[in-house]
Amino acid sequence: MLRIHPDIKKAIKKKQPVVALESNLIAHGMPYPQSVETALICERTIRSNGAIPATIAVFDGVITVGLSISEMELLGRGKQEVFKTTRKDLAYVIDQKKTGALTVAAAMIAAKMAGIKVLVTGGIGGVHRYFDTAMDISADVEEFNRTNVCVVSSGVKAILDVPKTLEYLETHGIPVIGYQTDVFPAFYTRESDLPVDFRFDDPDAIASYMKTQQTLKLESGILVANPIPEAFSIPREKIENFITTAVEEGKAKNIRGKALTPYLLERVNELSRGESLEANRRLLYSNCELASKIAIAYAKLEEKKK
């Protein structure tokens, strides 16, 4: 059920820095060909910062850690059915020998299976807007209760209800770390009005926190919130207008469940004339750089332990 690229398997065995990447971005998070281009740049960014990238998906019922370019193209082009795969879908996709692009939740599970401690994404899923009527909560936030992986993101996808998502994480005891910030980033925008739990200003401190949490046998995941680079941050009011329009249109069309997030991201991209997609790509590259540094710092702590 698990196939790990030989180079990645060797690195994990030697406790070298490895960064996992989810693959839902390639299949459902961005339009093709930008999706594959972005995934490849993410991998190059991780390598250039001294770590080893490990993009994860399911092919023919096998969890595959470390994808080839042709496998990424297959996910991005969507010429065959690609399941948007979260925790509840994982056994089905494997049992039925399907192809699946992994969400953050499923990628966390696979990363833990492979022995990878750090995962990078753009933004995690969370509590959807209009929760009172739709009662829609992403499996991403629930996975933090179960799976001890450090996830580097630029916060929660801005199309969601960010305050409710943070309340959900707080209720379940999930630590939210701000990287060089005291306030939670708002994905497309550098800042929100919401505080983080803890602030750390260097990757070594985050790696030390990870190690301490594992020593205490606290099995929950860790969310590291890294603000989008300032040059690509979109003013809050501007992006919020686009998001509100997209959410209202999605509600009117009765789009819900797995289809909602891809619809909203695509519609916001249309309304912003590509500005939101470019911001998404730039925050991803920044997150890949930070995730690499955290993985390197963690690997050094593992080396000291020897």
Each residue's pLDDT tens digit, 229-256: 999 999 999 999 999 999 889 888 988 7
pTM exceeds cut of 0.75: yes
pLDDT of residue 276: 94
Joined tokens for residue 217: 């046998």
Catalytic residue IDs: 22, 157
- How far apart are alpha carbons 19 and 137 in whole angstroms? 26
Joined tokens for residue 96: 């039925």
pLDDT of residue 14: 95
Q: Residue 111 pLDDT more than 90?
A: yes
| 169-173, Cβ contacts within 8 angstroms, sequence gap of 24 or more | 169/141, 169/144, 169/223, 170/197, 172/141, 172/142, 172/144, 172/145, 172/220, 173/220
The Cβ of residue 70 has, within 10 Å, a number of other Cβ atoms equal to 7
Portion of the chain with pLDDT greater than 90, in percent:
84
User: Phi/psi of residue 188, each to 5°?
Assistant: -70, -20
How many Cα atoms sit within 13 Å of 25 on the Cβ side? 26
Portion of the chain with pLDDT greater than 70, in percent:
98
pLDDT category at 209 given cuts 50, 70, 90 is very high
pLDDT category at 79 given cuts 50, 70, 90 is low
- How far apart are alpha carbons 202 and 62 in whole angstroms? 36
Joined tokens for residue 148: 């001890």
Q: Mind listing the pLDDT tens digit for each residue in 115-137?
A: 999 999 999 999 988 777 667 78
Q: Mind listing the pLDDT tens digit for each residue in 80-93?
A: 689 999 999 999 99
**Location of structure tokens 């809050």:** 236
For the chain, domain boundaries: 2-305
- How far apart are alpha carbons 140 and 131 in whole angstroms? 16
pLDDT of residue 134: 66
Q: Reduced to 3 states, what is the DSSP secondary structure of residue 109?
A: helix
Class of residue 256 by CB neighbours under 10 A (exposed 0-12, middle 13-18, buried 19+): middle
- Most confident region among 90-99, 158-167, 246-255 by mean pLDDT: 90-99
The Cβ of residue 220 has, within 10 Å, a number of other Cβ atoms equal to 18
- How far apart are alpha carbons 158 and 261 in whole angstroms? 11
Q: Which CATH number fits domain 2-305: 3.40.50.620, 3.40.1790.10, 3.20.20.140, 3.40.50.300?
A: 3.40.1790.10
| 6-12, Cβ contacts within 8 angstroms, sequence gap of 24 or more | 7/52, 7/66, 8/52, 8/54, 8/65, 8/66, 8/114, 11/52, 12/114, 12/115, 12/116
